[in-house]
């Protein structure tokens, strides 16, 4: 069995699920992370049936401080090699900044920034060991594109909330 997986946060709906379908169509096994277990089960069944790949899920809320370590440990316990990490989870807060609670803003930052940095930090060491990042950098040189860390993009989204408010 191939234990190489693409892990996608926020992968049970919207853009995250579309990314999952695209990667499954390219033959990648998929590991979805989201809050709603029933949606995760349904999405995994659909991906496995439609693309003949292995799919699994971890039900977790990235707003919780413990979630990142839980996700990482679960991948290790299940023996999954995460080759692709897609930090896609996110949401918006429609309430004006001065009205929301500090707890709401802290959860927002955990989902859109802290979890992105933490997941990347935990998985990047494994990827470097497997020379995956080296491969991506070589690919980028050949194709004349620049590999831009997702962390920076996500941080900019979080900062925009503060600046707009």
Least confident stretch, 6-20, 49-63, 139-153: 139-153
At residue 89, the pLDDT reads 92
Instruction: Tell me the mean pLDDT in the region 139-155.
Output: 48
Edge to edge, the sheet with strand 4-9 lists 55-59, 29-34, 4-9, 81-86
Secondary structure of 32-73 in HEC code, one letter for each residue: EEECCHHHHHHHHHHHHHHHCCCEEEEECCCCCCCHHHHHHH
Confidence of residue 140 (pLDDT cuts 50, 70, 90): low
pLDDT 10s digits, 94-132: 999 999 999 999 999 999 999 999 999 999 888 877 766
Residue with tokens 């993009």: 153
pLDDT of residue 126: 84
Q: Model pTM? A: 0.79
Q: List alpha helices for the chain, DSSP H.
A: 14-25, 37-51, 67-77, 102-109, 115-129, 132-143, 150-164
Question: Token digits for 93?
Answer: 């807060």
pLDDT digits (tens, 9 = 90+) for 45-104: 999 999 999 999 999 999 999 999 999 999 999 999 999 999 999 888 999 999 999 999
The reported pLDDT for the residue numbered 108 is: 94
Domains of the chain by range and CATH? 4-164 (3.40.50.720)
Q: In 10 A of CB 144, how many CB atoms?
A: 6
pLDDT of residue 156: 43
């Amino acid at each position: 069995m191939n234990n190489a997986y693409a892990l996608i946060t926020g992968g049970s709906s919207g853009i995250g699920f579309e990314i999952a379908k695209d990667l499954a169509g390219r033959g990648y096994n998929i590991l979805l992370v989201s809050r709603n277990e029933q949606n995760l089960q349904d999405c995994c069944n659909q991906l496995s049936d439609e693309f003949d790949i292995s799919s699994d899920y971890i039900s977790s809320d990235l707003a919780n401080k413990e979630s990142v370590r839980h996700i990482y440990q679960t991948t290790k316990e299940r023996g999954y090699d995460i080759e692709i990490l897609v930090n896609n989870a996110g949401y918006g807060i429609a309430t004006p900044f001065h009205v929301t609670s500090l707890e709401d803003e802290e959860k927002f930052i955990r989902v859109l920034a802290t979890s992105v940095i933490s997941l990347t930090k935990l998985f990047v060491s494994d990827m470097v060991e497997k020379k995956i990042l080296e491969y991506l950098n070589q690919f980028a040189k050949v194709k004349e594109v620049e590999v831009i860390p997702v962390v920076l993009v996500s941080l900019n989204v979080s900062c925009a909330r503060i600046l707009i408010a």
